Amino acid sequence: MLRYFLSRIVMVVPTLLIIIALAFFLMRLAPGGPFDSERALDPEIAKNLRRIYKLDRPLLEQFWLYLQSLAHGDFGPSLHWRDFTVNQLFATALPISVALGTKAMLTAILAGTALGLVGAMSKGGIGPRLVDGAAIFGIVLPVFVVAPLLQLGFGLTLHILPVGGWNDGAWQNQILPVITLALPQIAIVARLMQAALIDALAMPHIRTLRAFGMPGFHITLHALRAAFPPVVSYLGLAAANVLTGSVIVETIFGIPGMGRYFVDGALGRDYTLVMGTVVVVAGAVLLFNLIVDLVLAWLDPRVRYESRS
Amino acid sequence: MNEPAPMAQLSAAAGALRNWSMLASLSILGLIALLCLIGPLISGHPYDQVYRDYVLVRPSLFAHPDWAEVEEAVSAMARRMHVRIEASRDGEIRHMTLEAAKPIDPRALRAFERSDLFAPARIVASKDEGRRLAIDVPLKRTLFLFGTDANGRDLFTRVLIAGRVSLAVGLLASFVALTIGVAYGAVAGYAGGRIDSLMMRAIEIIYALPFIFFVIVLVMVFGRHFVLIFAAIGAVEWLDMARIVRGQTLSIKQRDFVAAAEALGATTPAILWRHVIPNASGPIIAYLTVLVPRVILLESFVSFLGLGVQEPLTSWGVLIADGARNIQGSIHLLIFPALFLGATLGALQTLGDGFRAHGLRSR
């Protein structure tokens, strides 16, 4: 297990490095700079600005400097919000996005598993078809359609929940964003869970348990363990999807999280801010995939033995 | 000479079409594509025509203006021209009588021309030295099936134009992804060994980057031109295609007909082009039906954030973003583009599910 763990960790570092390099050089290829505005700056001032932010150095040197500061955990100054460093912006934005993301993921896993379980148990009935049908809705209704509809329904018509804003993380403000983020993932998890459970319930060891006259609850637990691997291996992708969705959700609901900063940074050519978000997001996805791999190895011994040979 | 015909896989897919849900999806797709193609030509509105008198009009099956709108417009006109207007209510031509204290300048009647409700006015009779004018004002009939947006543009035409953009981006970006993915996968699979594992490692690395961030960085680089958006999207969506083609190539290259082609002295590119890729076509087509909706969704996503297609050109994502901003009071701005996008995505998804189920069975 330890060996497997180490072999996965060793992969992460070069991957992250390559992603940073890719994003860094791509950004610098883009025409236009962070100091472009409607009124052209005095050339003298522009020159000074470029010097202060070290944008006049050779590109490779800039990259090296950036890596060095990253190694110290410093994302550099924001070029757009010039009174803040990227670290200061992230200090408020990251906890918000993490709170939203984890709640959405937990909701998706719990609700998806429950739905899939119900669908698989009502075999032969309309259960499985209902779950499959609902899953299509998760695909057909993208996040940016669901969000305004929820705002209209619960906020503007029923006046139960606030339409937007963060309000220091009050629970009323979190409900709609979390549901919006979780819905498509619930649909996919439910569908995967149902398919995996139907397969698992047909396995020989479950039949043996049935033959022994085990209680239904027991059998379900065993079937769940066998059904989890395909669902767990999807969770890595789900995390990436939730991160992507959070860009939209944070924009629509006016939540000051990482996604908002990314979009604003991209529109304003804020090199350091966009780089910072890419690094954090890629790091988060890699970390989550690592966790998923470990859970898979724990659930299914074949995975760790295979990697040894 | 036991080369399996790719046609066999295709006919299996055709057999799958007998399934009613797939047939329904295909008809929906065809209908939407046809509407988008010819709809803007017959809707009677250019997609960027602004009707200032018809801002945020609700969807309706009847042509505008109705009597209430005419009355409102006439009273507004009377205020502006400092006259009293009496309008009769009959048929296509409105007979109106204008009364004022001073003689009325006929040039003031241009106001009718400038309005979106009326055609140019014609003076029938002039009494009291021009203080009383009898005029004929034909109505200009305009139909807004889906209503209009906040700028007074016809939503029906815009949804269909947006459909053209979204579908075009979907197809072209998928084509870009197809080209890169098939080439990459076939080369990796056929080369094998260290080259293969190196190329697959590269894919794993790009996988870790959330696509949307990559697309946005690429759109920043390329600029927000319509043609370049699908290049950016295609450039990130080829990964799965490459994996699938590589897997197929690995198994196809062990078949006898490849060995025969090698023995007969065929070059590697010729073997890939003539033997490997055609035999991998079944899974490639099946995956394309998954790829196209993903690409359309990604384009809407980027456009929704304002980083994609730029005004006055539009795409479903742009229209939905517009609808989300005007959701209070004008929900039709959200419903119609969302309906078209949803129907397209759902149909493609159903089609893809069916193709994959049947494609896997036939292999």
State the Cα angle at A97 between A109 and B293, rounded to 5°.
60
Nearest in space to A35 (alpha carbons), one of A25, A45, A22: A45
Whether residue B155 is found in the same domain as residue B127: no
Measured between alpha carbons, how far is B202 from B242 in angstroms, rounded to an integer? 11
**Claim to verify: residue B75 and residue B185 sit in the same structural domain:** no
pLDDT at residue B75, as a whole number: 80
Residue A178: closest CA among A116, A257, A117, A113: A257
The residue of chain A nearest to residue B345, with distances taken between CA atoms, is: A140
* 3-class DSSP state of B139: strand
Are residue B97 and residue B243 in the same domain, yes or no? Answer: no
pLDDT tens figures, B86-109 = 777 666 667 777 777 777 777 777
- Here the CATH number for the domain that contains residue B101 is 3.30.780
* Gap between the Cα atoms of B267 and B251, Å rounded: 19
The confidence score (pLDDT) of residue A33 equals 67
What is the set of domains in chain A, with CATH numbers?
86-308 (1.10.3720.10)
Give the separation between CA A243 and CA A104, rounded to whole angstroms.
10
Average confidence (pLDDT) over A1-15: 78
Average pLDDT score over residue span A272-291: 85
Q: CB–CB of A282/B208 below 8 Å?
A: yes
Is residue B38 domain-resident? no
Which of A80, A141, A144 should be substituted to probe chain B, the one whose Cβ sees the most B Cβ atoms within 10 Å? A144
B9 pLDDT band (50/70/90 cuts)? Answer: low
pLDDT in tens, A85-138: 889 989 988 999 999 999 999 999 999 999 888 888 876 667 777 777 777 777
Are residues B74 and B115 both part of a single domain? yes
Mark whether B89 and B177 lie in a shared domain.
no
Contacts of B237 in chain A (CB under 8 A): none
213-252 of B, contacting A, C-beta below 8 A: 213, 216-218, 220-221, 223
Q: Are residues B165 and B250 in the same domain?
A: yes
Q: Which of B285, B289, B300 shows the shortest CA–CA distance to B350?
A: B289
B210 and B304 in a common domain: yes
SS3 label, residue B97: strand
Q: Residue A198's pLDDT band (boundaries 50, 70, 90)?
A: confident
Q: Which two tokens stand for residue B259?
A: 């060995």
Asked if residue B1 belongs to a domain, the reply is: no
Q: Does pLDDT of B363 surpass 60?
A: no
Tell me the mean pLDDT in the region B300-324.
Answer: 83
Alpha-carbon distances of A19 from A245, A275, B358, rounded to whole Å: 21, 10, 38
**Has residue A291 got a pLDDT over 80?**
yes
Higher pLDDT, A103 or A26: A103
B324 in reach of chain A (CB within 8 A): yes
Share the mean pLDDT of chain B: 80
Say which CATH number the domain at B298 has: 1.10.3720.10
Cβ contact (<8 Å) for B216 and A147?
Answer: no
Q: Which of B138, B169, B199 is the last residue of a domain?
A: B138
Assess whether B133 and B155 both reside in one domain: no
Percent of chain B surpassing pLDDT 70: 88
User: What is the β-pairing status of strands B122-127 and B84-87?
Assistant: unpaired
- Hey, are the CB atoms on A26 and B218 less than 8 Å from each other? yes
Residue of B nearest to A242 (CA): B210
Region A62-84: what's the mean pLDDT?
A: 86
Residue B264 lies in a domain: yes
Interface of B with A in 103-162 (CB under 8 A): none
pLDDT at A37 > cutoff 80: no
Does residue B14 carry a pLDDT above 60? Answer: no
Are residues B126 and B75 both part of a single domain? yes
Domain presence at residue B101 = yes
Asked if ipTM goes beyond 0.85, one says no
Task: Examine residue B48 and state whether it is found in any structural domain, yes or no.
Answer: no
Residues of B in contact with A141 (CB under 8 A): 338, 342
Q: Is B207 found in the same domain as B94? A: no
Q: Are B208 and A282 an interchain contact pair (Cβ–Cβ within 8 Å)?
A: yes
Are residues B286 and B228 part of one domain? yes
Residue A84 burial by Cβ neighbours in a 10 Å radius (0-12, 13-18, 19+): middle
pLDDT in tens, B168-195: 888 888 998 999 999 999 999 888 888 8
In a domain, B34, yes or no: no
- Nearest Cα of chain B lies from the Cα of A282 at a distance, in angstroms, of 5
The model carries a pTM of 0.81
Last residue of a domain, one of B80, B113, B138: B138
Rg of chain B on CA atoms, in Å: 30
Range of the domain at B312: 12-18+148-362
Give the pLDDT confidence score for residue B144 in this predicted structure. Answer: 85
Sheet holding B84-87, edge to edge: B84-87, B93-99, B132-138, B122-127
**What domain count does chain B have?**
2
The C-alpha atoms of residue A78 and residue A135 are separated, in whole angstroms, by 41
Asked if B349 and A140 come within 8 Å (Cβ–Cβ), the reply is yes
**Angstrom distances, CA of residue A197 to CA of A114, A125, A141, A237:** 11, 15, 26, 20
B239 and B91 in a single domain? The answer is no
| Domain end residue (candidates: B138, B162, B178) | B138
Distance CA A162, CA B143 (A): 37
